[in-house]
Amino acid sequence: MENSRPSSKRFLDIVSDLRTIIKEEGAVIGDKLPSERVLADRLQVGRSTIREALRSLELLGLIETRRGEGTFLADYKKHQLVEILSTFIMQNPQSFKSVDETRRIHERAAIECISNDPERRTLPVWESFLEKLKGIEPIIREELLQEIVVVSENRLSLKIWFLLKQYSRAPFHETMAEDEKEVASNLLKEMMNGNSQLAVMRYADWLDIVNGERRDEHEC
């Protein structure tokens, strides 16, 4: 009936300790962390345990290691980790719905955010998109969505969106159909006009097209 002070998984404690160290030293992106040997000595564990923790954080993209140089706080702009995840995670049918719904929540919020901001809704990038939508060159759906989420300038929301995108089974990596481009254009126009409510409605229209008509039961 131990109170599990040592949580039976030392490397998990190390992950936590590393976070503390980073915090205490006020390390910023790009900064060098103590070497594995120093960490092992400081935290009083073997180097292999330190490495298990570091390798975990590396796979998450939180740190970056360069042989011969050291370990550095990573620029968390690389989401390559999720590629590996997506092949493993959730065959659970129920969770796909949550993922898609949550992704849409963030997209909708981004659309509203931009529509309500005179600065961002008049960015030249939207004009460019409108032009491209008039043409016949193929456009990937998520190109537009990504731009929207990026411009909304909520880094956490963006991060979450990128994660969810990888897990989503919605066909947002495919090219847009011709009639679909018009709906997307309408979305953009309403957004640029600052009419967030109509923009969101056009977004809903777009979803209807992409997902076919099987959106009968769930509307959140």
Note whether 197 binds a copy of itself by CB under 8 A: yes
User: Could you say which of 41, 101, 127, 174 contacts a copy of itself (CB under 8 A)?
Assistant: 101
Q: Which of DNA, a copy of itself, none interacts with 82 (beta carbon under 5 to 8 A by kind)? A: a copy of itself
Task: Using the minimum distance from each CB to DNA, give the nearer residue, 52 or 180.
Answer: 52
Task: Using the minimum distance from each CB to DNA, give the nearer residue, 20 or 94.
Answer: 20
User: Could you say which of 38, 89, 125, 140 contacts a copy of itself (CB under 8 A)?
Assistant: 89
Note whether 57 binds a copy of itself by CB under 8 A: yes
Q: Find the distance separating the first CA and the last CA of the chain, reported in whole Å.
A: 45
Note whether 35 binds a copy of itself by CB under 8 A: no
User: Could you say which of 67, 69, 213, 214 contacts a copy of itself (CB under 8 A)?
Assistant: 67
Q: Are 54 and 63 in contact (CB under 8 A)?
A: yes
